Amino acid sequence: MIILGVESTAHTFGIGIAKKENGKIEIIANCKDSYTTEKGGIVPVEAAKHHAAVKGKVLQDALDKSGIRLGEIDAIAFSHGPGLAPCLLEGLKFTKELALKLSRKIVPVNHCIAHLEIGKLTGCKNPVLLYASGANTQIISYAGGKYRIFGETLDIGIGNFIDSFARHCGIGFPGGPKISELAKHGKYVELPYSIKGMDVAFSGLLTNLEQKYDRGIKIEDLAFSLQETAFAMVIEAAERALAHLNKDELLLGGGVACNSRLQEMARIMCNERNAEFFCPPNEFLVDNAGMIAYLGLKMFEAKCSIEPEKANINPAERTDDVAVKWG
């Protein structure tokens, strides 16, 4: 079985291909092209134009990489939400056109759940996911037939928080990798720590950091302290979820999970409580279509596909809106 996946929820347009052979799923292509800006954040309509401009090339890349022909594809999965409506619509249009052309069904995939499911390629079975991306910061785990959110940000996502601070300091977008470099040469300055139960908040921390930057405190010190504080908050929430749910696997997901300091803190926490730590390679942490194809394949097998005419976007779909019918 071969499933093609389409990702277009935000800045990234991706095409992934998943293949199941002898009971084993493999990602045989994971291609993408991302919209970036030097100044300012993501403009949804501009990102959508980017997706329209690159889609043909990304599809061709994926076909070349995997060595398969379009006719061999059994169904097309796409991220139908959550995400930015103009970007999602571009993905929907692409998916529908291809599905109609090939006379194939469509599998609508929830982007956040795909971030968790792809982690299973690393061997975990029933993890708590710390999903740390640009727009999302959530602690997700399976309970009672659904993936449920046990904790989340009360305001902005951790990646957007880091990127906003980077933008304030004029170091471009995305800021995550740059802040991580600067942090290697910094020392600790005190910052507010904001966790309420299982939830976290970053906007107060952002304002505090911006004020300190404007007062002339070294950016290296602020980058270091930002990471120590924000990561400690999400790791604390994840640890509580492990304890409450009585689970012993922690999985990282989302672009911010590429950060080696976050990975290190997660590993230490897991060691301390005898839990196992899982982290997919970076290409499956950031937004990617490999994860959409992967979950799409599982959902297709579980008969979760629909006729192309019925496909639509769901920009505000929540993780616990989805009934999990696949195994």
Which of Fe ion, ligand ATP, none lies near 159, with the C-beta cut-off 5 to 8 A by kind?
ligand ATP
Q: Nearest approach, Cβ of 22 to ligand ATP (angstroms)?
A: 31
Task: Select 127 or 254, whichever has its Cβ closest to ligand ATP.
Answer: 254
Q: Is 133 in the site for Fe ion (CB under 5 A)?
A: yes
DSSP 8-state secondary structure symbol assigned to residue 127: P
Query: Which residue, among 319, 317, 10, 8, has the nearest Cα to 163 in the 3D structure?
Result: 10
Task: Select 2 or 13, whichever has its Cβ closest to ligand ATP.
Answer: 13
Torsion (CA) 325, 253, 308, 315 in degrees, nearest 10: 100
Site for ligand ATP in 215-254 (CB under 6 A): 254
DSSP H helical segments within the chain, as ranges?
44-66, 85-102, 111-117, 158-168, 176-183, 203-214, 219-245, 260-272, 290-301
Distance (Å, whole) CA 78 – CA 113? 13
Q: Is 81 in the site for ligand ATP (CB under 6 A)?
A: no
Q: Is 199 in the site for Fe ion (CB under 5 A)?
A: no
Site for ligand ATP in 255-314 (CB under 6 A): 255-256, 258-259, 286-287
Whether 75 contacts 107, CB under 8 Å: yes
Q: Is 151 in the site for ligand ATP (CB under 6 A)?
A: no
Which span (176-184, 242-250, 284-292, 317-325) binds Fe ion, by CB under 5 A?
Answer: 284-292
Q: Which of 66, 153, 180, 208 is the binder for ligand ATP (CB under 6 A)?
A: 180
Which of Fe ion, ligand ATP, none lies near 308, with the C-beta cut-off 5 to 8 A by kind?
none
Buried b (16+ CB within 10 A) or exposed e, 119-134: bbbbebeebbbbbbbb
DSSP 8-state secondary structure symbol assigned to residue 206: H
Radius of gyration of the chain (CA): 20
The neighbouring-strand residues paired with 21 are 24
Q: Which of 2, 8, 11, 251 is the binder for ligand ATP (CB under 6 A)?
A: 11
Q: Which of 7, 61, 90, 163 is the binder for ligand ATP (CB under 6 A)?
A: 163
Q: Nearest approach, Cβ of 28 to ligand ATP (angstroms)?
A: 21
Q: Is 287 in the site for Fe ion (CB under 5 A)?
A: yes
Which span (16-24, 128-136, 199-207, 304-312) binds ligand ATP, by CB under 6 A?
Answer: 128-136
**Residue type at 240 in one-letter notation:** R
Buried b (16+ CB within 10 A) or exposed e, 140-149: bbbeeeebbb
Task: Select 181 or 214, whichever has its Cβ closest to ligand ATP.
Answer: 181
Q: Is 89 in the site for ligand ATP (CB under 6 A)?
A: no
Distance (Å, whole) CA 191 – CA 56? 46
Q: Nearest approach, Cβ of 35 to Fe ion (angstroms)?
A: 14
Helix %, strand %, coil % of the chain (to 5) = 45, 20, 30
Q: Which two tokens stand for residue 33?
A: 């092209």
Task: Select 133 or 160, whichever has its Cβ closest to Fe ion.
Answer: 133
Task: Please report, in angstroms and rounded to a whole number, the separation of the first and last CA atoms in the chain.
Answer: 16
Q: Is 159 in the site for ligand ATP (CB under 6 A)?
A: yes
Which of Fe ion, ligand ATP, none lies near 134, with the C-beta cut-off 5 to 8 A by kind?
ligand ATP
- What residues line the site for Fe ion (CB under 5 A)? 133, 287
- What residues line the site for ligand ATP (CB under 6 A)? 9-11, 83, 111, 133-136, 157, 159, 162-163, 174-177, 180, 254-256, 258-259, 286-287
